[in-house]
Chains A and B, each alone.
Chain A
Amino acid sequence: MAGQLSIAKALNEALRKSLENDPKTVLMGEDIGKLGGVFRITDGLQKDFGDDRVIDTPLAESGIMGTAIGLALRGYRPVVEIQFDGFVYPAFDQIVSQLAKMHARALGHVKMPVTVRIPFGGGIGAVEHHSESHEAYFAHTAGLRVVSPSNAHDAHWMLRQAIESDDPVIFLEPKRRYWDKGEVGEDPMLPLHSARIVRPGTDATLIAYGPMVKVCQEAAKAAEEDGRRLEVVDLRSLSPIDFITLEESVKRTGRGIVVHEAPVFLGLGAELAARLTERCFYHLEAPILRVGGYHAPYPPSRVEETYLPDLDRVLDAVDRALAY
């Protein structure tokens, strides 16, 4: 896969490889066939693999998830596309009560190798229900694995790893980054649930995932002009979380700032702050700070920039952390 690929294309190639490698892999979702999905992630796949393996479904998210579970029970490996973040809630029972618990309920007798792809997050000027970040609901649910790539390489390889997993995986795609390009290497380089230090630094650790990794990288670059060396960790996996990498980084820098689009209150940052405080207590120079969305419904798009963390809000938190 030489050359630069967009995240969208890298995902498309990952689905293609997965369909090629395992005849039991099937894709399901709304408009994923001829249209190629509203974001074109499945572009051309129905043409090449047939409508038996790339399945246009009725417009019923619970139906999609429930039948995916049935297909998994029959030995298939379904990859479900939920069209937009805000449309996953009708499938919530099937994901949280059925999919996540089935393996445990059967005392291990059945497996649920189902991947649920969801374009998530804001910043694209969309209408209501098209910009949400609901990762905390899924990360809070035992039985699910939750991951989110931030770049083309990870998008490709993490999706292939997710599909190969015998556990259900919620795969959150940073929709505002779909068209960002990057190199896709010849092998995954990391296991699915490892975090990655994407920029080394010494003064504070910025922890982000999905769409906010880029914001944090830009913030770190800007901070460097002020002589501050910020480390940026791309979490990649939201459940489980690679606390070994995080702990090592925060102990070294003495400061941690978690950045996500989701509301701060009871968001992933709350868990990260609590656990990193336990693990790094005597190394901390400041409390772990959080930057994220407000405790309000996702706002109309004309004011979404106020809601979404940006470079300035991240640097403001850095200032506060360094002031302790």
Chain B
Amino acid sequence: MTVKSTTRARKKAAPGVPDKTSAGSAAPELVQLLTPEGDRVEHPDFPLTVTPEELRALYRDLVLVRRFDAEATSLQRQGELGLWASLLGQEAAQVGSGRAMRPGDYAFPTYREHGVAWCRDVDPLNLLGMFRGVNNGGWDPNEKNFHLYTIVIGAQTLHATGYAMGITKDGADDAVIAYFGDGASSQGDVNEAFTFASVYNSPVVFFCQNNQWAISEPTTVQTRIPLFRRASGFGFPGVRVDGNDVLACLAVTRWALDHARTGQGPVLVEAFTYRMGAHTTSDDPTRYRQTEETEAWKAKDPILRLKAHLEKEGLADEAFFAEVEAESEKLGLRVREGVRSMPDPDPTLIFDHVYTEPHPLVDEERAEYEAYAASFEGEQH
């Protein structure tokens, strides 16, 4: 296997002039196993054998994840959610990497990893609690080895690295994926996580979904080299993968996790993809990017290419696609009903779990609130 962090010979940028093309466009190093037209191609470093059944399962994942995401966006528009961060366009990066994980592996997500959560078998309704405002996360991270969403950009990469340091101490062969984005690559925490993981040789895969936009800022505001090349400065391999190619994401992440779990240290995977929608439902991308750009990425859609492949190769029939469609409608309905019937928490939730052990101030304020609330009992509202 070639060393992934080696830079290939390419045209040199003038000194002091940012090489915008390298940061903003897919460089020749891009690992791809499935073309946008749905043709299977081989890559010497990342062989992948998949059965038709596995291909159909990946297709199902992609469709259901997109359906869930679309439903959540609608629910926000209907006022059922306060906010939603759509993953539209990034399904392959998330499903590919998510399905590469073993049960004992652990994922540390940002707030957009709904597809990874799906692969970890986290109930989609759990993800919606914080966007509806009934909790700030709330699920048990250790149940599915999927940590709570982290909103402060990049902070979770350090948690992932510390967790991975613990795996090493335990002598276990699990590995961790730290998810983050192109914007987060500028954060100190991400760079500190690279440093810690590197010097302690920790079993963590840094999975950067470069979706080209950090809200309104293009990658050229974050970097003047392709992000995966950052790894070489920290002393570990970096790979750029076609983030809209679920097979390439699966193969590369599987390789990276094995690299990490076998004591060879961290890997940076840059999944080159595109945020088809807005940053969140509060964002308006028409203010800062061109329709042509979005249209060009539409042609690279992760679901259409897998569908084209399944059809071309005769690996799935109409009945299969209809079945997935029906299942996706069912999921949409379940999510819709689940969110609408999600109860508001009792206000005293405020005082729960601030500390693990009794705390006189919290107890006092809870008692004050309860007495105050009780003073309204029997009054007309």
Residues of B within 8 A of A62 (CB): 158, 188-189, 192
Interface string of A46-83 (1 = CB under 8 A from B): 00000010000110101101111111111110000000
Residues of B within 8 A of A143 (CB): 354-355
Residues of A within 8 A of B357 (CB): 165-167
Please tell me if B262 contacts chain A, counting CB pairs below 8 Å. Answer: no
A112 — nearest CB in chain B belongs to which residue? B356
Residues of A within 8 A of B164 (CB): 70
Q: How many A-B contacts are there with CB distance less than 8 Å?
A: 145
Contact: B161 with A104, CB < 8 Å? Answer: no
Q: Which segment, of B58-66, B115-123, B165-173, faces chain A?
A: B165-173
Contact: A107 with B352, CB < 8 Å? Answer: yes
Residues of B within 8 A of A240 (CB): 359-361
- Interchain CB contact (< 8 A) of A71 among B143, B166, B189: B166
A53 — nearest CB in chain B belongs to which residue? B169
B365 — nearest CB in chain A belongs to which residue? A142
Number of interface residues of B (CB under 8 A): 44
Residues of A within 8 A of B161 (CB): 66-67, 70
Please tell me if A105 contacts chain B, counting CB pairs below 8 Å. Answer: yes
Please tell me if B275 contacts chain A, counting CB pairs below 8 Å. Answer: no
CA distance A142 to B352 in the complex (A): 12
Interface string of B155-183 (1 = CB under 8 A from A): 10111111111110110000000000000
Q: A109 with B139: in contact, given A60-B192, A66-B189, A98-B155 (CB under 8 Å)? A: yes
| Interface majority SS (helix, strand, loop, mixed), chain B | helix
Please tell me if A260 contacts chain B, counting CB pairs below 8 Å. Answer: no
Say which size band chain A's interface belongs to. Answer: 35 or more
Please tell me if A94 contacts chain B, counting CB pairs below 8 Å. Answer: yes
Residues of A within 8 A of B163 (CB): 70-71, 73-74
CA distance A228 to B152 in the complex (A): 54
CA distance A107 to B199 in the complex (A): 34
CA distance A243 to B364 in the complex (A): 11
Residues of A within 8 A of B82 (CB): none
Interface string of A160-173 (1 = CB under 8 A from B): 00000111000000
Q: A70 with B166: in contact, given A103-B355, A108-B356 (CB under 8 Å)? A: yes
Please tell me if A129 contacts chain B, counting CB pairs below 8 Å. Answer: no
Contact: B162 with A108, CB < 8 Å? Answer: no
Residues of A within 8 A of B381 (CB): none
Please tell me if A110 contacts chain B, counting CB pairs below 8 Å. Answer: yes
Please tell me if A313 contacts chain B, counting CB pairs below 8 Å. Answer: no
Contact: A63 with B193, CB < 8 Å? Answer: yes
B162 — nearest CB in chain A belongs to which residue? A70
- Interchain CB contact (< 8 A) of A70 among B142, B165, B355: B165
Contact: A110 with B355, CB < 8 Å? Answer: no
Contact: B360 with A70, CB < 8 Å? Answer: no
Please tell me if B136 contacts chain A, counting CB pairs below 8 Å. Answer: yes
- Interchain CB contact (< 8 A) of A75 among B141, B166, B352: B166
Residues of B within 8 A of A58 (CB): 192, 195-196, 199
Which of A65, A90, A105, A239 has the most C-beta atoms of chain B within 10 angstroms of its own C-beta? A105
Interface string of B350-375 (1 = CB under 8 A from A): 00111111011110000000000000
Contact: A108 with B189, CB < 8 Å? Answer: no
Residues of A within 8 A of B355 (CB): 103, 143, 145, 167
Please tell me if A97 contacts chain B, counting CB pairs below 8 Å. Answer: yes
Beyond the given pairs A66-B158, A76-B169, A167-B355, 7 more chain A to chain B contacts, judged by CB atoms under 8 angstroms and listed by A's residue number, are A62-B188, A66-B159, A66-B192, A67-B162, A70-B162, A90-B188, A109-B143
Could you list which residues of chain A lie within 8 angstroms of chain B, going by C-beta atoms? 26, 52, 57-58, 60, 62-63, 65-76, 90, 93-94, 97-98, 101-111, 142-143, 145, 165-167, 193, 239-243
Cross-chain pairs A/B with CB under 8 angstroms, 7 sampled: A62-B192, A66-B155, A73-B159, A75-B166, A93-B155, A104-B353, A142-B354
